[in-house]
Amino acid sequence: MAKKRDKKKESDLFGEMTRERFTEQSVSDTLIKNYMPYAMSVIVSRAIPEIDGFKPSQRKILYTMYKMGLLNGGMTKSANVVGATMKLNPHGNDAIYETIVRMTRGNESFTHPFIDSKGNMGKHYSKDSFAAARYTEITLSKLSRELFSEIDKDTVDFQDNYDGTMKEPILLPVTFPSILVNPNKGIAVAMSTQIPTFNLREIVEATCAFIDDNSCDLKQYIKAPDFSTGGILVYDEKIMDSIIENGKGSLKVRARYVYDKSSSSIEINEIPFTTTTDMILEEVAALVKDGKIKDINDIRDSTDKEGLKITVELKRNSDPDLVMSKLYRYTSLEDSFPSNINILINGQARVMGVRSVLGEWYVFRTTCVKRGLIFDISEKEERLHLLTGLEKILLDIDRAIAIIRNTEHDADVIPNLCDGFDIDYMQAEFIAEIKLRNINKEYILSKTAEKEKLEKDIERLTGILVSPKKINELIKSQLREIADKYGIDRKTSIIDASEVSEPSREETIEDYNLRVLLTRDGYFKKIPLTSLKTSPEQKLKDNDAVIKAQEWHNKSEIVFISDKQSVYKMRLYEMPESKAQSIGDYLANILDLSEGEHIKTFILRDDYKGIVIFGFENGRALKVPYDQFETKGYRRKLKNAYNGASPLANAVYLPKDGEIVFGTDGDKFARMDSSVIPLSSSRSGRGTAVIKLKPGQTVNLFCLPGDLGFPAKGIAAVRKIPTAGGPAKNSEPEAEES
């Protein structure tokens, strides 16, 4: 018989297990315990570079390649380097290889690449993918010698790798400020870095000047950042001052282009560092599709072995400079580089200007030089010590040979030599290892000369070590040698911001002919005339109808008049384009109309000349100059634009007095010249009585004769107001006298 389950015991047991597994903890304690270590790891060990110019992943890759003998050897498959780097960098193959790619010459991301490559490494300025690691080959570039030339001289500290099986350098003993000659970008937790790249020659001269006088004007030597993709930098002195002193500032860089008149095309061969050819193509294509730029026939990526090239084919008689001005404004062909020089100094992230970076690098470099000098002196002193012992032996070589011959046991040779010539164990061991054939006059003289040279070298190196001035001269001479070997001309040219002619927004707007339509239900259409040639039929919402249509041009202003005493002003080019096959755009959304507000009509003009007549349902009309609606600033909405004592039937615009038509819901009509209505100097006037109404009647029609929909000659023309009006007839009656 099965045992009966004791549910109470099971419940108590589960409660005890739960209490053991879960403990209460405050959110702040959880963040400190669990999140802060992760955040610090990202900042210190992943995203932010140190004063040698490298993030940990980059440093591990370069050091691995150095240990593989790739500084002076041939190329090897990238996959070999990826595999070897995993001994220092416990991350996935893809992450390591992508870091390698960005440092290669083929990728063109670095102005001064540390890795030479063979095969498809992609391009920094393109989204095209690079070849797999098994297909590409890499080796260290000649410039990398400046990273490792002193690494075996105890110039930097080493640490264990992640599993304690190898040693790796904490920093690389760079002989130039590599942190400033190649770009570096990283996003950590609550902070980021974006370091612009400068020209090597300029940085070297600035560093030498800084060593002599740390308050010198660095702008005399550093013109501006210099990017690997070239382009034209719009120079702003205040921004440059901020970058040099504070490390922050947004730099504006634009593409460089040439115009080929024979093919009527623009060839863009340099672009901002922060964009790509794919992004530019997408942005320009979107502008053409949206009708914002109509001068472009085609755009394509013509990049080849010669380098980057984007070809923009223009329509006949297009102005290439104006087209580029528009592209600069609306695309990333002109882009900003937000400088934020954030570097780890002794494990602490600091945002620093170029001056402070040079100061920290100088301290770091001075330490490396001193440690290197101490190492060289120590080695030479050790060698000198050995030769000093040898000198004692060589003065009585026969006695030394006799001591060795008369020693019975091999282990006693070294102690017997020490006792016989008053030398130490190290000197005696060195002497004992000398071959018999080397005990000749030439050997003795060469070792004596070497001893003298060592003494002079030690004296010279010691003199440098104890003299800050000599150390500075050594650093500067090394820097200038590097500039001579590896320096290149600037890729990014400079133009002063005052020389850049920024076109106004109006100048960059396309002007073309179009048809504007307003429907009874409040839908608006702006259709290019070229589009109407292929699709003349208009689609409307069910039971909707066009109440006004007018042909105009895009580069103008449109004024909407609503039934709530408001006037809305818009640039016509700001209104969305429509197609004949669409129902249009709902004006209530575009203009942000109030509840129950409707647009009665619109006015299209390039100036504020002429008159506007408001026709009210109570039979009155208000005529005001159109310039009453002109404002000094660009006000989108003008309230109390007309008197609201009576609902608005409609409003019409006339360049000068001309015929207008009124109609009532009692089928009475009147046609008159607007000159019979007196001009009001105020928009708030009640207007003049125009047509007489019977009780309960209202004016339901007010328009220009051409907008009637039937011949206006059937409506009686009047010369005096107010008038009773009359029915519309087939033939034009005599003019009414009263």
Question: Which whole number is the average pLDDT over 591-610?
Answer: 93
- Would you place residue 663 in the very low, low, confident or very high pLDDT band (cuts 50, 70, 90)? very high
Report the CATH fold assignment for 256-332. Answer: Gyrase A; domain 2 (3.30.1360)
Residue 59 reports pLDDT greater than 90: yes
pLDDT value at residue 12: 63
Residue whose C-alpha is closest to residue 214's, from 54, 361, 372: 361
Residue 390 reports pLDDT greater than 90: no
Residue whose C-alpha is closest to residue 423's, from 399, 439, 452: 399
Residue whose C-alpha is closest to residue 600's, from 702, 712, 711: 702
pTM across the whole model? 0.75
pLDDT value at residue 167: 94
- Would you place residue 118 in the very low, low, confident or very high pLDDT band (cuts 50, 70, 90)? very high
Summarize pLDDT for 526-564 with one digit per residue, the tens.
998 888 877 778 889 889 999 999 999 988 999 999 999
- Would you place residue 21 in the very low, low, confident or very high pLDDT band (cuts 50, 70, 90)? low
Give the range among 115-119, 187-191, 602-606, 632-636 with minimum mean pLDDT.
Answer: 632-636
Sequence letter at residue 138: I
- Would you place residue 297 in the very low, low, confident or very high pLDDT band (cuts 50, 70, 90)? very high
Summarize pLDDT for 434-446 with one digit per residue, the tens.
877 777 767 777 8
**Domain boundaries, given as residue ranges, for the chain:** 54-173, 256-332, 365-476, 511-604, 607-738
| C-alpha–C-alpha distance, residues 729 and 671, integer Å | 12
Question: Which whole number is the average pLDDT over 6-17?
Answer: 59
pLDDT value at residue 20: 58
| C-alpha–C-alpha distance, residues 238 and 244, integer Å | 10
Residue whose C-alpha is closest to residue 369's, from 156, 171, 192: 156
Distances (CA, A) of 640 to 360, 590, 663, 684: 66, 20, 25, 8
Q: Which of 35, 38, 135, 425 is catalytic?
A: 135
Comparing 256-332 with 607-738, is the CATH topology the same?
Answer: no
Residue whose C-alpha is closest to residue 332's, from 288, 274, 291: 274
The class level of CATH for 54-173 reads alpha beta
Residue whose C-alpha is closest to residue 517's, from 541, 500, 485, 491: 541
| C-alpha–C-alpha distance, residues 482 and 477, integer Å | 9
Residue 612 reports pLDDT greater than 50: yes
Question: Which whole number is the average pLDDT over 638-655?
Answer: 93
pLDDT value at residue 738: 34
Residue 578 reports pLDDT greater than 80: yes
Question: Which whole number is the average pLDDT over 627-645?
Answer: 85
Cβ atoms of 428 and 418 within 8 Å: the answer is yes
Start-to-end CA distance of the chain, whole Å, equals: 119
- Would you place residue 576 in the very low, low, confident or very high pLDDT band (cuts 50, 70, 90)? confident
Give the range among 81-90, 430-439, 448-457, 485-494 with minimum mean pLDDT.
Answer: 430-439
Residue with more model confidence, 207 or 305: 207
- Would you place residue 19 in the very low, low, confident or very high pLDDT band (cuts 50, 70, 90)? low
Q: Return the percentage of the chain with pLDDT > 90, whole number.
A: 63
- Would you place residue 615 in the very low, low, confident or very high pLDDT band (cuts 50, 70, 90)? very high
> To which CATH superfamily is domain 365-476 assigned?
Topoisomerase, domain 3 (1.10.268.10)
Sign of CA dihedral 464, 465, 466, 469: positive
**In sequence order, what are the residues at sequence separation of 6 or more whose Cβ sits closer than 8 angstroms to the Cβ of residue 713?**
731, 732
Q: Return the percentage of the chain with pLDDT > 70, whole number.
A: 94
Q: Looking up tokens 């070294």, which residue turns up?
A: 414
257 is catalytic: no
pLDDT value at residue 732: 45
pLDDT value at residue 580: 87
| C-alpha–C-alpha distance, residues 406 and 685, integer Å | 136
pLDDT value at residue 412: 87
Residue 633 reports pLDDT greater than 70: no
pLDDT value at residue 727: 87
| C-alpha–C-alpha distance, residues 56 and 37, integer Å | 17
pLDDT value at residue 25: 74
Summarize pLDDT for 303-326 with one digit per residue, the tens.
988 889 999 999 888 889 889 998
Pick the CATH number of 607-738 from 2.120.10.90, 2.40.50.140, 3.10.20.310, 3.10.129.10: 2.120.10.90
Residue 14 reports pLDDT greater than 60: no
pLDDT value at residue 322: 87
